[in-house]
Amino acid sequence: MNETNEKNENAGMNAATDAQYGAEQIQVLEGLDPVRKRPGMYIGSTSIDGLHHLVYEIVDNAIDEALAGYCTEIKVEILPDNIIRVTDNGRGIPTGIHPTEGISAATVVYTVLHAGGKFGGGGYKVSGGLHGVGASVVNALSEWLEITVKDGQNIHFQHFDRGEYKEQLKVIGQTEETGTMVTFKADAEIFETTVYDYETLLKRMREQAFLNAGIRIVFSDLRDEADPKREVLHYEGGIREFVEHIRSVRGHEPIGDVIYVSGTQDDSFAEVAMQYNDSYNECIMSFANNIHTKDGGSHETGFKNALTKVINDYGRRFGKLKENEKLSGDDVREGLIAIISVKLTECEFEGQTKGRLGNPQVRPFVEKMLQEKLMSYFEMNPAVAGEIMDKCLAARRAREAAKNARETARRKTAMESASLPGKLADCSEHGVANTEIYIVEGDSAGGSAKGGRDRRYQAILPLWGKMLNVEKARIDRVYGNEKLMPVVTALGTGIGEDFNLEKLRYEKVIIMADADVDGCHIRTLLLTFFFRYMKPLIENGNVYIAQPPLFKVERDTKAKKYEAVRYAFSDEERDRYIEELKTSEDGKTFKLLVQRYKGLGEMDSDQLWETTMNPETRTILRVKMEDAIKADEIISILMGDKVLPRKDYIEKYAKTVSNLDI
């Protein structure tokens, strides 16, 4: 058993010694109206992310019960009609009558905002950022919700419609078992979509199973009767297995074992699992109370500081580094996968999206713990330490080569007086606001784009030459690459450490490529490049994908009155337009011309403007990086040099693979 479980069992003991606790200590604050009025305030948004949040809230309560030591299994099911059912075999939510509210505690938990008496300190309140308000929020945002509680004697049941109930919690049978089952259907009046994404939920359930070693989550999707899915998520190794999982999905070869260290200080617990591999990427994920801190924070800073220090100290002590040599943070993190998980009594989340852990005292705690334990690991495992040192030294040499290449490139640009690429057709407007650059594959498409654009604010950069697969190359080879350098110069931002978003010369960077396999390839390559060397560009939402149509549907008529053209972006849309255009309002039927565009080059300038470039009529997709880790993973799988994971991935997502990158 690891220290997480020990600690949490203590938390459970506190609750157990206070038998009536559940029914008495719930703070009562307010009803559910505000939740339905402003759902975004409670679950972030009403998009699919908000929808998934409902599931996380209920599952979090079951996880808390498991961490308290009373529950061994959590079942999460997506039932037909996108109904969610979560079942645990814990104590069951308390059913006793609440002293001030005069109704059952379970009813209070599900109908009163901020009802969460169980979180008044003592042990970690590990899950969720909502401090136990989750259940009532889910209830308020569900078309209906039902709770079934087994307390070892009775089976209690209550039904709610949009958070309201007509009947109190009532006994509907007898049982010797204990546990809680919650079933709900998200309210279509609230959410943009009520269709759950299996992969997203699976990923989250798996993550929670890794972060809470020993917990068993059985996740199933029973929506398609012909194709039921079921996964048992149970990892005795916890975050060690998380690291192993990330590495094998990406298909990297390990360097050394997974290193695991953990420690406690006062009421805080921290654990780190890490392993090097043969890739050049760094994948560090941190969590605070099981919540992913995607922007890092004090725990991550503590980890990074300690890692750099220990490797430098070790290198110096054992003669791998000369006195005047120093490995940088980037050097020691190249090819590293690491998970940092801390559990605290109270987390402070900071930043615009609350993705960064504040809690200043956590940095020195993690730093000191890691420094001591990592150093003793290296001392006891000199072979692994040696391999890691060699890897870091290789990274340092590559970084030096890159620096030289960069300086050469800088000198060269200075000499060429920072001239823009010859093929760039720049826009005439001088400011950045509202300007766009289209990056277009192929000279013929480039030609149409130049002819069709609004030259005041639209610039065109045709691409030529051989593309570099940036996944397989370090930064030194990017400088001087004939295909990528014009992009870098045109955007004006520089790359890597030199990147400066303020120097971006256009507001929108639009990748325009064909809808076919080659187009997909160039898109993915460019996105990989942006992801690795211009990440803030994606984070800031400046990168877009143009959507050229696949079909043109047109009436074959000379009569002006009946002329009509539609552009379709899918087979379904094409069929819809065919239906729509084949007869006119006055009943005249037409022969239709349906043209399939094989490439952008087939469209003339006017068509390209009308369908793909005119801001009034076009569709462009903004490239989001809500989950940089996911993009990184896909890019590694699709672009890396291991064939097997790529094959697995493509087989699994064969149908959607063309949309991967957006």
Catalogue the active-site residues: 441, 514, 516, 518
Question: What is the distance, to the nearest Å, from the Cα of residue 59 to the centroid of all Cα atoms in its chain?
Answer: 19
Footprint of ligand 1YM on 266-305 (CB under 6 A): none
Which lies closer to ligand 1YM via its Cβ, residue 150 or residue 399? 150
* Torsion sign (Cα): 118, 121, 123, 125: positive
Give the strand pairing for 282-288 and 83-88: unpaired
Member of 35, 51, 57, 94 binding ligand 1YM (CB under 6 A): 94
* Residue number, 89 or 262, with CB nearest to ligand 1YM: 89
Q: Give the residue with the Cβ less far from ligand 1YM, 16 or 195.
A: 16
CB of 180 to ligand 1YM, least distance (A): 4
Interacting residue with ligand 1YM among 109, 425, 487, 546 (CB under 6 A): 109
Dihedral over alpha carbons 47, 51, 54, 60 (to 10 degrees):
-90
Pick out residues in 161-180 that bind ligand 1YM (CB under 6 A): 180
In angstroms, the CA 422 to CA 175 distance is 79
Choices 91-99, 474-482, 519-527, 554-562 (CB under 6 A): range interacting with ligand 1YM: 91-99
Which of the residues 175 through 204 are near ligand 1YM (CB under 6 A)? 180, 182
62 contributes a contact to ligand 1YM by CB under 6 A: yes
| Residue number with CB closer to ligand 1YM (65 or 514) | 65
Cβ-proximal residues to 255 (8 Å cutoff; 6+ apart), any chain: 275, 276, 277, 278, 335, 387, 388, 391
134 binds ligand 1YM (CB under 6 A): no
Of the two residues 15 and 370, which places its CB atom closer to ligand 1YM in the complex?
15
Cβ closer to ligand 1YM: 71 or 600?
71
Rama region for 82: left / alpha / beta (φ>0; ψ in -120 to 50; rest):
left
Contacts of 373 (CB under 8 A, 6+ apart): 261, 263
Among 54, 83, 86, 460, binds ligand 1YM (CB under 6 A): 86
Q: Does 543 bind ligand 1YM (CB under 6 A)?
A: no
Closest by CA to 63, choosing from 53, 54, 74, is 74
Rounded to a whole number of angstroms, the CA Rg of the chain reads: 29
Judge contact between 530 and 538, C-beta under 8 A. Answer: yes
In the set 58, 137, 402, 537, which binds ligand 1YM (CB under 6 A)?
Answer: 58
Q: Bridge partners of 527?
A: none
35 vs 445, beta carbon nearer ligand 1YM? 35
CB 104 to ligand 1YM: min, Å: 9
Smallest separation, CB 265 to ligand 1YM (Å): 25
Residue count, binding to ligand 1YM (CB under 6 A)? 21
| Helices of type H across 295-381 | 298-317, 329-333, 362-380
118: contact with ligand 1YM by CB under 6 A: yes
Q: Is residue 21 a contact point for ligand 1YM (CB under 6 A)?
A: yes
Look at residue 597 and give its three-state secondary structure.
Answer: coil
Counted residue by residue, the chain has a size of 662
b/e burial code for range 136-153 (CB count within 10 A of at least 16 → b):
bbbbbbbbbbbbbbbbee
Among 22, 335, 442, 601, binds ligand 1YM (CB under 6 A): 22
**Interface with ligand 1YM by CB under 6 A: which residues?**
15, 21-22, 26, 58, 61-62, 65, 86, 88, 90-91, 93-94, 105, 109, 116-118, 180, 182
